[in-house]
Structure 1
Amino acid sequence: MLILFCCLIGCGGSGPQLGTVEGSVTLDGKPLPGAIVSFRPVEGGRTAEGMTDESGHFIIEFAAGSKGALVGDHEIRVTTFREKVIGDNGRVEDPGMPEKVPRKYNDQSELIRTVEPGKNHFDLELASS
């Protein structure tokens, strides 16, 4: 009876194994606000993202309401680029933002970190040159 009950409600862990991830991003020693930080699993799988606040702090989300990233090695990408948004009326609704981060930290990222089960903290100290 217990086995049947467990099968009906689902026993064991459900979903992928995640580790919580937070940290900060600096560029040339100064906090980098408004940057998107992406954790892309090296072995494939869902990318998890977060945005830095005014102090450069970020918290990574795997999905809405689910904080963290898949356990394992990740390529980390950091970007500030946002496209300009023009509304139906032809007016600029969002001026966008230019890229402040060198390519070696975003589309040609050299940043690799390992997410472990439990809590993970990564401070990313980037340099513009």
Structure 2
Amino acid sequence: MNRILQTSGWLVLTLLSVMMSGCSTDEIPLGEVHGQIKLNGQPVDGCLVMFEPVVGGRSSTAVTDIDGEYKLQFKGNTAGAMLGKHKVRLITGRQGRSDDNGRIVEPGRKEELPKEYNTESTQIVEVTSGDNRIDFEVDVAK
């Protein structure tokens, strides 16, 4: 009887480990996503780019460089975004930071983009397998 319990215990552990190995991010199909963000024809530096899957799941993020270019990261060193439709948020606004003595170490930044691109985003895009170049050109009347 003890031997049966030991054997069935090992069988349960083996089945659990096999099932858990199927849950890794390596098996989630991803598409590579990159592009450029421009505001009134000029590249936007330091813009947080968020792709949120419409059906739910892990978001992918990036921050634009000085040329407004971004490349999405899914998790850790894994680039890309889940396949399917995503709501996109582009965020340039940030709160400032002070050190322990109250000195400003990083000034805040006012949101430059309209709410349709961030807090009330209406931007929906589709990520497919392979390479996806998705640019955003935002024009705002001055």
Which TM class, normalised by the smaller chain length?
0.7 to 0.9
Deviation at 1:47, TM superposition (A): 1.1
Alignment partner, residue 121 of structure 2: 109
Whether 1:45 and 2:45 are equivalent positions in the alignment is: no
Q: TM-score, normalised by structure 2?
A: 0.79
Deviation at 1:87, TM superposition (A): 1.6
**Alignment map for 1:94-105 (pairs within 5 Å):** 94-105=106-117
Whether 1:74 and 2:86 are equivalent positions in the alignment is: yes
Cα RMSD of the aligned pairs, angstroms, is 1.9
Alignment partner, residue 29 of structure 2: 17
Deviation at 1:118, TM superposition (A): 1.2
Whether 1:30 and 2:42 are equivalent positions in the alignment is: yes
Separation in 2, partners of 1:61, 1:96: 25
Which SS does the other structure have where 1:37 is aligned? strand
Which SS does the other structure have where 1:104 is aligned? helix
Q: TM-score, normalised by structure 1?
A: 0.86
Separation in 1, partners of 2:43, 2:93: 16
Percent identity at matched positions? 36
Residues 22-44 of structure 1 deviation map (CA, whole Å, 9 limit, x = unaligned): 00011111111111111011111
| Paired AA for residue 111 in structure 2 | E
Change (3 A) 1:86 1:41: same
Which SS does the other structure have where 2:27 is aligned? coil
Which is helix-richer, 1 or 2?
2
Which is strand-richer, 1 or 2?
1
Which structure has the bigger radius of gyration? 2
Gaps of 5+ in 1: 1-6
Report how many residues are paired.
Answer: 122
